[in-house]
Structure 1
């Protein structure tokens, strides 16, 4: 596993990530909003091929009279021909461990399609029942409970009071608002 600030990702690896994402999500735009301090994590095989990738995005999130330092997982992808071999799970677990060790991060918070919740659960993230992430911007929001979405909000808490903070984030609408580039992470 290797990681880079997205802006420092070597061109050869960046090109592979872009091609991989385009294969899995045709029409997707590469890269993330620099204001979210994107960090790219990769699994690369011995031949130098990116086999799995994800991005970590960072942003303060105000909730319950406090501002939390949040990180989110975005663009989690593995080579389609290598799916089912545990690459994505290893990468997601490594991302969680990195976030847990970062004293500047209070929690990891993101949404995923409902069928993927067990995948993220196996890496140490837990669903937040009834929680809705409100992405986009305050003027142009995009919520995880929008019509046609079947999303689950997942989290891991790295604070001094993880149970209390989990309670604060359960069953509420969280004003994530990452902007117009990364409307949800």
Structure 2
């Protein structure tokens, strides 16, 4: 089975999504990564994204069930004495019962187009090494870079998490500083526990 005509791809700022959509996102995250907390009916709807990251949600529903999700996060990055607007993919997930149907490719492609058409200077995120080939099909190359959440003790890092880094230079400003994004460490400057 593959993507159906009835599948609806939606894009909406996360802060504008309904409580039901947020609950469905949290449930999907738990189904894909059981170590993430399971949402409880009647409880406060969990927030998947820090409001400071101005998340854009890309998602597919079929018959009122959330099947696939990806978010685009936005932040400002300071690197080599320069400021860059960064967009990052985050929380890419497809319901285990509906994988291998092209749904993940659809949300990643939509999110990638949003990033390409944004004002971002660079696009960056991390993934498990076996998934790199999947993202390469959407135009995301793996680079020799380490990403750290911040310079604080205990900050997450791509190396310690066993992740590969995918990076695209989008703007002229980024291309002018291309050498600064090769074989380097990039600090996201995010609070402890956050990462992309």
| TM-score, scaled relative to structure 2 | 0.83
Indicate how the Cα distance of structure 1 residues 137 and 2 shifts in structure 2: closer, same or farther if over 3 A, else same.
farther
Match of 2:26 in 1: 18
User: Equivalent residue for 2:98?
Assistant: 82
Deviations 1:125-173 (CA, angstroms, capped at 9, x unpaired)? 11112x0001156343221112xx3211001221126655443212100
Say whether residues 1:154 and 2:135 are aligned partners.
no
Q: Which residue of 69, 80, 92 maps to 1:53?
A: 69
In structure 2, the partner of 1:169 is 181
For the aligned residues, what is the CA RMSD? 1.8
**In structure 2, C-alpha distance between the alignment counterparts of 1:10 and 1:166, rounded to whole Å:** 40
**Structure 2 residue matching 1:142: 3-state secondary structure:** coil
Task: Give the CA deviation at 1:48.
Answer: 2.8
Structure 2: gaps (5+ residues): 1-8, 38-45
Find the residue that maps to 1:12 and give its secondary structure: helix
Which segments of 5 or more consecutive residues in structure 1 lack a partner in the other structure? none
CA distance in structure 1 between the aligned counterparts of 2:53 and 2:151, rounded to whole angstroms: 14
* 8 A contact 1:60–1:70 mirrored in 2: yes
Q: Max radius of gyration: which structure?
A: 2
SS in 2 for 1:54: strand
Of 45, 53, 57 in structure 2, the residue corresponding to residue 40 of structure 1 is 57
SS at match of 2:159: coil
Taking a change above 3 Å as real, the CA distance of residues 83 and 165 of structure 1, as seen in their structure-2 partners, is farther
Distance 1:39 1:180 in 2: 22
Aligned residues of 1:41 and 1:95 also touching (Cα < 8 A) = yes
- Asked whether the equivalents of residues 152 and 192 of structure 2 are also in contact (C-alpha less than 8 Å), the reply is no
